[in-house]
Amino acid sequence: MIERTLFSEDHDRFRDSIRRFLETEVVPNHSAWEDQGYVDRDVWLKAGANGFLCSSMPEEYGGAAADKLYSVVLMEEVARVNATGLGFGLHSEIVAPYLARYGTEEQKQRLLPPMARGELIGAIAMSEPAAGSDLQGVRTTAIRDGDHYVLNGSKTFITNGYLADVVIVVAKTNPTAGAKGTSLLLVERGMPGFEKGKRLKKIGMKAQDTSELFFDNVKVPVANLLGGENQGFIALMQELPWERLQIAITAIASAQAAIDWTVAYVKERKVFGNTVASYQNTRFTLAEAQTEVQVARVFVDKCTELLMVGKLDTATASMAKYWCSDLQCKVIDECLQLHGGYGYMWEYPIARAYADARVQRIYGGTNEIMKELITRSMGLGAK
């Protein structure tokens, strides 16, 4: 294996701490969380107390001013144990950065410290019943009326939606201006007219609460505008490369975990008197999978280096997201096959990983959209 030079000894110690936390506080409870459809809020508080939330935020807002490699470590370790119920990544490295980059001082002081402590849980509401990857098709409106906006519409497939205390809502403040009329609003739990729908039942990621959100004449104070009015689409485009790289990071960690589980399984499982590992097909399948994951990891690590110096562009992040999520599904499928019938049993981690992985090719922009973005960088955009 190629040595990963991204991480320091401090990152390695942080990785050890996260592993202990996950093995103690998450893994024993994850199956029960899958049954109930969401994780307990208590695990958020424990994660906050251990410094695992919003670690890259400035210290004055409750973070540790840590570099994003600490967040990468957390994502990799969560993926390694397939703890897909935890919405920590979205909370800490999607919602919180929007606040840190575009929020007013009052917004940051009021919301970021309790988010870092796990007292407030964050979500972002982009997708709608008729607008998924196409953010320009958003129909939710926020019409200004004096010192507030009147918000109407609905969102769906919202991660952390059921537990969320603060939601960044993508809405049209100028419905006739297309993407140029998009704004971001901070909608908080308890605002009249803000309702959470049922928790959606999914193929996988059963412990991760995913909900519908409804806005019926919600009066959102102008002070809750995040960034400039009608500047929301620009903000979304600036933040999406990091979001998509996060998907690639978890995809590769998940694929590696699948290989590791399978290597252990085939060494023990016997077929016709021989271990499954003794068959050439098994060894070659795993050799190919390990090679592909290693190649992908080198690329993802390079993308992370680019991110750290502010040079990760949309096309490169799109390549990472589409390629790695496709590879994740391919590798997990091959590993499940090597488990035979047991691979289809829910109590085996490979079965859960198989179900959980499929959405990676959809959220954050479908892989088909990723290919469109890549072709635009090649001068091949549709006219």
- How many Cα atoms occupy the beta-carbon half-sphere of 262 within 13 Å? 30
Is beta strand 141-145 parallel, antiparallel or unpaired with respect to 148-159? antiparallel
Return the active site residues: 243
Report the chain's C-alpha Rg in angstroms. Answer: 21
What 8-state DSSP symbol labels residue 53?
S
Q: What is the CB neighbour count within 10 angstroms for residue 231?
A: 17
Quick check: 124 and 98 in contact, CB under 8 A? yes
The C-alpha atoms of residue 191 and residue 28 are separated, in whole angstroms, by 35
**How far apart are alpha carbons 270 and 277 in whole angstroms?**
9
In order, the DSSP letters of 109-160 are HHHHHHHHHTSS-EEEE--BTTBSS-GGG---EEEEETTEEEEEEEEEEEET
